[in-house]
Structure 1
Amino acid sequence: MSTIMKLVSFAMLLILLLSVDVEGSESDGSLCCNTHPNFGVCKTQQDKKRCNTWCLKGCKNKKGGFCKRLPSRPQCHCYC
């Protein structure tokens, strides 16, 4: 009985993980809720304004973006 319970628990966990990943992705190419390393440099005040403008144009929610601090380097992140 415990083997069946383990399999059911594993299957439910797997389904949960897959559904979270699908929910976070935007199929219409929207930039919202994502960090974008392809944006390029994001260090100066001018870069921060450019990131915000880029996110405003690419996101349907029109909330903009900011330069998010990451261990490697700051990257443009668009608000949800």
Structure 2
Amino acid sequence: MSDEVTIERETKALVALNSLYTLKKAMIITYEDEGEIERDGLRIEIIPSWKWVLNEGHSDINNDVITRTAHKVRV
């Protein structure tokens, strides 16, 4: 599985969900990658797990959709 396949799978799922339910925030949590991408008008934040735990914790888990992946993604 390549990085492009992983990022496409994860973003596609978030975009599809956003078409059903308007998301306040969309994230892909990775092992170490960080960045931001936009797909079909949806801003998706890519954040390393350590940073998510320290900065975000679980406070937004009920309001946001978070996709976790251990694969490295290129932004």
Normalising to structure 2: TM-score of the pair?
Answer: 0.28
Higher relative contact order (CA 8 A, sep 6+): 2
Q: Which is helix-richer, 1 or 2?
A: 1
TM-score (norm 1): 0.28
